[in-house]
Amino acid sequence: MKFVNRAIVIVLDSVGVGELPDAADYGDSGSNTLAHVAEVVGGLYLPNLAEMGIGNIASIHGVGPVALASACYGKMAERSAGKDTTTGHWELMGIITEKPFPTYPHGFPPEIISEFEKRTGRKVLGNKVASGTEIIQELGEEHIRSGRPIVYTSADSVFQIACHEDVIPVEELYKMCRIARSILTAPHNVQRVIARPFTGTPGKFVRTERRRDFALEPQGETLMDLIVSRGGEVIGIGKIEDIFAGRGVTKAVHASGNSECIKATLSSILKGEGTLVFTNLVDFDMLYGHRNDPVGYARAMENFDAAVPHLMEFLRDEDVMVITADHGCDPTTSSTDHSREYVPLLVYGRSLAHGINLGIRETFSDVACTLADLLDIPHQFPGVSFADRL
C-alpha cells in the first residue's frame, strides 16, 4: 500500500448524485441534485470533473463517462441517521450518528424558549419552521421595532437566531447563540445553533456573511483528532471549525463563499500547509439548493470545475485530494430542505492509481478509514478502507 503525507478533502456542500434506498423515509423520493440541475439548464459543462470521472459515477446531462479517468471514482451512501451538514461531515471523518438529532416541526417547547428569554433578557419572535430568507421579510420590521430576536428552525436539527446588525450587534447575537447552545442539551441536544445576522430595510432585508454555527462536539474520535494527537496540522476552511465545534482544527480559515474558500485551499496547498486540509464549499447549499435555484447551482458547479486544474497543478507527489459531498439539496423539487442522496467520490493523487472504479461505498466513513491508512495512522473507524486499491 502506498502512503501520502497530506490529504486535501473538498466537500461540495449538497452536491448529491441520486436518492438513497431509504430516501422515501425522509420524504426525498426521486431526488437527484446534480442530474436534475443538469437537466434544467440543458446540460452541464464540467470538462475537468468529467476527466476525473464524475460522469462515470452518475448520468449527468452534458457530462459523459470517460474511458480512463484521471482520478479514482465512486459514490457513497450515508449510514448515519440524517441528511444534514454535521452528520455528513462527521461521517466523512469517521463518526456514524446512529440516533437522529431532535427536530421541531412545531417550534421549540416552552421550557426551551422561556429559559432562552430569561437568560438573554429578550422575548423572541417566530419560533416556527421557516425559510431563513422569508422569515426576515415577514418579521424583520417587527424585530427592528421591538428589538426581539427572530428564532426559527427547519427540517434539520437547528436553532436559528436572526437579528438585524443595527438592532442587535453581531457579537451580542453570537453571545445569545452561546446561551442557546448551553441550554440545548439532551434530550433537546439540537445539532447546531446558527447565528443569522441581516441588514437592510423593510422589504429589502438581506442576510450577511457573518453567519456562525455553534455545533455540538463530535460524539467520538475523528480523523482530525487522530492527526492532531500525533502532532499533525488540520486546516479547516469555510465552516469546518464550526461544524466540529473547534475540535481537531489547528488552523481555522473562515473564508466566505465558494470563491474565497477555493482561494484559501489553493493557498494552503501552495504553502505546503497541513496534514489535512479540509474545505467546505457552502454556496451550492446555502445560495442555490435551499433557494431552489438550479441555474445558480449549475453556474457554481461550472465555476468549481474551472478551479479544479489549479488545485491539481500545485499538489505535491505525496498529496491525495478527495472531492465529495455531505448530502443532497435538490433545487428542482418543491422542498427547500436537504435530500437523502448518494454523494460523489473522486480521489486523485499523482503517485496514486487512476481510473479505478471504487464502486458504491456503504458509508462516508470509508474516507476516514482510507485517509488514515494512507497517512499511516492507526484507527478503528467504522467502514472499509479502499487505500489498497489506490
Q: Cβ contacts of residue 221 below 8 Å, gap of 6+?
A: 94, 95
The set of residues, in sequence order, having a beta carbon less than 8 Å from that of 209 and lying 6+ positions away, is 256, 257
pLDDT of residue 268 exceeding 80:
yes
Q: For the residues 235-249, what does the mean pLDDT come to?
A: 95
Residue 287 grid cell: 445560495
The pTM assigned to this predicted structure is: 0.89
Question: How far, in Å, CA of 374 to CA of 332, rounded?
Answer: 38
In this structure, how many other beta carbons lie within 10 angstroms of the beta carbon of residue 249?
22
- pLDDT surpassing 80 at residue 312: yes
Is residue 298 within 8 Å of 41, Cβ to Cβ?
yes
- H helix intervals, the chain: 33-40, 47-52, 54-57, 85-92, 110-120, 132-146, 170-183, 223-229, 240-243, 257-271, 283, 294-313, 366-374
For the chain, domains (ranges, CATH) are 6-98+216-389 (3.40.720.10), 110-215 (3.30.70.1250)
Contact 63, 51 (CB under 8 A): no
Q: pLDDT digits over 179-200, tens only?
A: 999 999 989 999 999 999 999 9
Judge whether 245 and 217 are in contact, CB under 8 Å: yes
pLDDT at 2 over 90: no
Band of the pLDDT at 332, cuts 50, 70, 90? Answer: very high
More reliable by pLDDT, 161 or 2:
161
**What is the rounded CA–CA span in Å between residue 133 and residue 100?**
26
Mean pLDDT, to the nearest integer, of 120-132? Answer: 95
Distance CA 168, CA 269 (A): 38
d(CA 12, CA 327): 9
Checking if the pLDDT of 60 tops 80, the result is yes
User: Long-range contact list for 48-53, CB < 8 A, 24+ apart?
Assistant: 48/305, 48/306, 48/308, 48/309, 49/304, 49/305, 49/308, 49/323, 49/346, 52/308, 52/323, 52/346, 52/348, 53/346, 53/355
Map residue 11 onto helix, strand or coil.
strand
